[in-house]
């Protein structure tokens, strides 16, 4: 046999033995565990939360509420959601597009119907920034405790009857400010038919007209039979006495004149006394 052929056969056999050894080694080696992929992100939804700290008496608005992504596994039944559910928050460009769509949708709808239904509610218990807004911490205008929560400390809600004539023609609306004018018979001149008119409380906020705590949309007037006024506690009895002794008139103030606090009439004030058909007499009382 040709020596070169013998050499080729020997090399091929040796290669076969080496290959068999390598295959046996690879088969007998313990298999390494397959690396697990990243865990799936939990499903989330959007929960209505406070954008800033809200104190008792604050009114909810689109500026102090926001939607916040919340894990569905920790969702409380009391939380207010927008109804959306997302299995995993997209990353990268897809995530940016998704977030942009939420922002545009919220801007176009004022946060959506769920947020809009909460606008105007009053905070009953403190709500901190990032905390979910729940029904237990707010009161709405239809709730029984709405007016008590709305009143600032030291103030009282007091209702007085009005007519179109005594109520500025029906143009007084919730949120307006008025001066309370008392008109009653003159008792200082032996009851000679005179009438005294005096402002007993100035710059009083109107809380409601009848049962309306907000002005109806597109309403230019809101005639009512009762005005509910925000009155300092010290003035409640004085208004009650003035009401029993004569008629109360409401003088509507300009929006340019509503700055400052509610004030009682001064100790010295000018009043007009009308006697029969004669000219009005202006006097100063103490």
Residues 130 and 170 in one domain: no
pLDDT band with cut points at 50, 70 and 90 for residue 107 = low
Answer yes or no: is pLDDT of 277 > 60.
Answer: no
**Per-residue burial over 11-24, b = 16 or more CB atoms within 10 Å of its CB, e = otherwise:** eeeeeeeeeeeeee
Residue 276 falls inside a structural domain: yes
Q: Which residue has the tokens 């939607």?
A: 67
Answer yes or no: is pLDDT of 248 > 80.
Answer: yes
Q: What is the pLDDT of residue 268?
A: 41
CB 172 within 8 A of CB 147: no
Residue 105 falls inside a structural domain: yes
Task: Please state, in angstroms and rounded to a whole number, the distance separating the CA atoms of residues 144 and 271.
Answer: 41
Answer yes or no: is pLDDT of 48 > 90.
Answer: yes
Q: What is the pLDDT of residue 260?
A: 81
E strands, the chain, where?
A: 44-50, 65-71, 81-86, 122-123, 138-139, 155-161, 177-185, 194-209, 226-232, 247-252, 263-264, 269-275, 281-285
Percent of the chain with pLDDT over 90: 34
pLDDT band with cut points at 50, 70 and 90 for residue 22 = low
pLDDT band with cut points at 50, 70 and 90 for residue 229 = very high
Q: What is the pLDDT of residue 244?
A: 87
Answer yes or no: is pLDDT of 284 > 80.
Answer: no
Average pLDDT, the chain: 78
Q: pLDDT tens-digit profile of 110-145?
A: 778 889 989 989 898 899 999 999 988 998 877 767
**Domain boundaries, position 229:** 153-285
Residues 184 and 244 in one domain: yes
Residue 34 falls inside a structural domain: no
Residues 187 and 261 in one domain: yes
Residues 225 and 256 in one domain: yes
92: left (phi over 0), alpha (psi -120 to 50) or beta: left
CB 250 within 8 A of CB 183: no
Residues 269 and 157 in one domain: yes
Q: pLDDT tens-digit profile of 193-228?
A: 677 888 999 999 999 999 888 777 777 888 889 999
* Count of CB atoms situated within 10 Å of the CB of 107: 10
Q: 0.85 cut: is pTM over it? A: no
Residues 274 and 162 in one domain: yes
Residues 172 and 252 in one domain: yes
Strand pairing report for 65-71 and 44-50: antiparallel
Answer yes or no: is pLDDT of 27 > 60.
Answer: no
Token output for 204: 């009083």
Q: What is the pLDDT of residue 150?
A: 81
Residues 157 and 278 in one domain: yes
């Amino acid at each position: 046999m040709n020596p070169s052929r013998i050499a080729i056969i020997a090399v091929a056999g040796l290669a076969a033995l080496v290959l068999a050894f390598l295959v046996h080694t690879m088969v007998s080696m313990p298999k390494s565990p397959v690396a697990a992929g990243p865990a799936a992100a939990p499903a989330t939804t959007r929960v209505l939360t406070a954008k800033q700290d809200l104190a008792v008496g604050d009114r909810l608005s689109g500026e102090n509420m926001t939607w916040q992504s919340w894990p569905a596994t920790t969702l409380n039944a009391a939380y207010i959601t927008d109804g959306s559910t997302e299995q995993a928050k997209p990353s990268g460009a897809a995530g940016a597009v998704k977030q942009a769509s939420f922002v545009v949708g919220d801007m176009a709808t004022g946060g959506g119907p769920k947020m809009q239904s909460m606008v105007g509610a009053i905070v009953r218990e403190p709500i901190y920034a990032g905390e979910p807004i729940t029904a237990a911490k707010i009161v709405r205008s239809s709730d029984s405790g709405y007016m008590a929560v709305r009143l600032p400390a030291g103030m009282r809600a007091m209702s007085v009857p009005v007519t179109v004539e005594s109520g500025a023609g029906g143009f007084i609306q919730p949120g307006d400010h008025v001066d309370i004018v008392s008109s009653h018979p003159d008792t200082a001149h032996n009851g000679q038919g005179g009438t005294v008119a005096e402002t007993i409380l100035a710059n009083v906020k109107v809380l409601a007209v009848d049962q309306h705590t907000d002005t109806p949309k597109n309403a230019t007037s809101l005639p009512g039979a009762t005005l509910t006024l925000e009155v300092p506690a010290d003035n409640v009895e004085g208004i009650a006495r003035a009401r029993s002794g004569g008629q109360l008139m409401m003088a509507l103030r300009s929006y340019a004149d509503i700055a400052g606090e509610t004030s009682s009439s001064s100790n010295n004030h000018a009043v007009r006394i009308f006697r029969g058909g004669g000219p009005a007499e202006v006097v100063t009382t103490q």
